[in-house]
A = this chain, B = another copy of it.
């Protein structure tokens, strides 16, 4: 069953909602799709109405460092920021759970800021929350060691999917933390010994 835009963005005024329906283009993408690559020019602001997206920062050596998740009711802050001057994307966006999005042409972004108070507030709040999220990422890598970062990673994953099972291989986790598989395996083993997780093949159960 499909939720309406109104349910997903409850703070939008009804005028704004119909303008979005009019000017936006609804699109679906399967899990695994790369929605945006580092260096690409951005032509749309993306509103997520269903599914999940992960935002990565790419290293020169091909690393894919996980920054944060995007979920229904949220928007890609980068696509908003870059939109105005049609700048290049500084990040990579990957679909991790089949998504539906509304693509908003870049010229609408500025226009609506003036015309719709609820759009303005949404944009500011998007900036604020994403900025804070990135600051938290900085905290983690600047001040914490790998075991703490791994615990944080697992917690965030289960928060995002709303369940206590993480269905990822150690290699995938290692890539997103920019470390090696062996390190992840070892740290997970220690967590299992401490009773924090139960390890299965391609699955980690969080116990507390």
- Residues of A at the B interface (CB closer than 8 Å) are 57, 59-61, 63, 65, 67, 77-78, 81-82, 84-85, 87, 90-91, 113-114, 120-121, 124-125, 127-128, 130-132, 134-135, 137-139, 141-143, 178
Contact = CB atoms under 8 A, between A and B. Distances in A.
B81 A142 contact: no
B63 A135 contact: no
A81 B91 CA distance: 21
Contacts of A61: 143
20 contacts: A57-B139, A57-B142, A59-B139, A59-B142, A59-B143, A60-B143, A63-B143, A65-B143, A67-B138, A78-B131, A81-B124, A81-B128, A84-B125, A87-B128, A90-B131, A90-B135, A113-B120, A130-B131, A138-B141, A141-B142
A178 B143 CA distance: 7
A78 B65 CA distance: 24
Contacts of A120: 113
A75 to B, nearest CB: 14
Given A82-B128, A127-B81, A135 B91 contact: yes
Given A113-B113, A132-B90, A143-B178, A138 B78 contact: no
Contacts of A113: 113, 120
Contact of A77 (B87, B121, B131, B142): B131
Nearest to A83: B124
